[in-house]
Amino acid sequence: MGGPVDDVETEEITATEAFAILGNETRMEILRALWQSDEPSSFAELRSDVAPDDKGNFNYHLGKLTDHFVKKTDDGYDLRFAGEQIVRAVLTGTITSAPSVRPAETDERCAYCDAPVEMGYTKDVISVRCTDCGGVIGGDFPDGTYMHYQFPPSGLADRTPEAAIDAAHVLYDSKIAPMMKGICPECASGIDISYDICDDHQVGDSKICPNCDSRYEVWALYECEHCRYRRKSVMWFAALNHPAVVSFYYDHGLDEKIPIRKLTSDNAQFVRDVTGTVTDTDPFRFRVTIPIEDDTLVVSMDEELDVLSARRTSDSR
């Protein structure tokens, strides 16, 4: 194993310079043409794609894009990572322009109580709430909320509400999984974990604690130290992919891996009653309890949410 990568050369441009470079239609067309091409493009190919009639200026605009957004290789011109990110951001944001979906009942059922759930979408955020129980979070959120996070507008295109909810679950998993391993899914830098802990957690019939406005006592906050990308998740989600937990579920008849957050009526019995609590604060230690039928798996985790031990107990009352 090596140490830090120490030969990294950085040439930074300021944000103002970057936007000045990109604020031009011909240059955006060049990025888009390179993005559409599977292989690097020669100067002549690119020019005939983008600006067949405009020889002098084309060269000038292409020069502005190299080297920060476009690279020149032996095979021709190609996008650099930053150029690719720009095109992708433009595409994901505008395939459907700022759509908004009024909350409406769907065929999806609540994992906690099996009542129908409502889905709505506004300002790039997808929200799902149960029409009957308290869901996962209360407070400022509508009653019964259990999903509320950023989802690109392109994710709504050509999908039913149920399929959009499903896609949002999968997308959430794909972002939070690397964060649980300490890697930012957006920029690959390191992740800081901090915790939101309710000191007096009490869930009554609504299952939402009045002190923390949440069903769960401990939430993990993952934040990238570099690009500030952040996500919040229930602390015990980090335990679900551990082999001891997967095999516990397998032994109780769940033959596929539980997606981290995908609580559906099908797998609800396996995750509905999971609890997570704090056993020590310096350093942090957590205990996650997973009851299924007469068995319970007790998992202890450290401050990085790595599993320290997992122990099965049987309740033969």
Q: Is 229 in the site for Zn ion (CB under 5 A)?
A: yes
Q: Is 274 in the site for Zn ion (CB under 5 A)?
A: no
Pick from 33, 136, 184, 240 the residue near Zn ion by CB under 5 A.
184
Question: Which residue's CB is nearer to Zn ion, number 65 or number 110?
Answer: 110
Question: Which residue's CB is nearer to Zn ion, number 190 or number 243?
Answer: 190
Q: Is 180 in the site for Zn ion (CB under 5 A)?
A: no
Token pair listed for 86: 């720009």
Q: Is 195 in the site for Zn ion (CB under 5 A)?
A: no
At CB < 8 A and 24+ separation, what contacts does 194-202 make? 194/220, 194/221, 194/223, 195/219, 195/220, 195/221, 195/235, 195/278, 195/284, 196/221, 196/232, 197/278
Q: Is 137 in the site for Zn ion (CB under 5 A)?
A: no
Alpha-helix residue ranges (DSSP H) falling in the chain = 15-22, 25-36, 43-50, 55-65, 81-94, 161-180, 243-251, 268-271
Q: Is 157 in the site for Zn ion (CB under 5 A)?
A: no
**What is the size of the binding site for Zn ion (CB under 5 A)?**
20
Alpha-helix residue ranges (DSSP H) falling in 148-260 = 161-180, 243-251
Residue 114 C-beta: closest distance to Zn ion, Å: 7
Q: Is 226 in the site for Zn ion (CB under 5 A)?
A: yes
Q: Is 187 in the site for Zn ion (CB under 5 A)?
A: yes
Question: Would you give the distance in Å from CA 266 to the centre of its chain?
Answer: 22
Q: Is 258 in the site for Zn ion (CB under 5 A)?
A: no
Closest to 314 measured CA to CA, from 251, 256, 269: 251
* Interaction site with Zn ion (CB under 5 A): 110, 112-113, 115, 130, 132-133, 184, 186-187, 189, 198, 201, 209, 211-212, 224, 226-227, 229
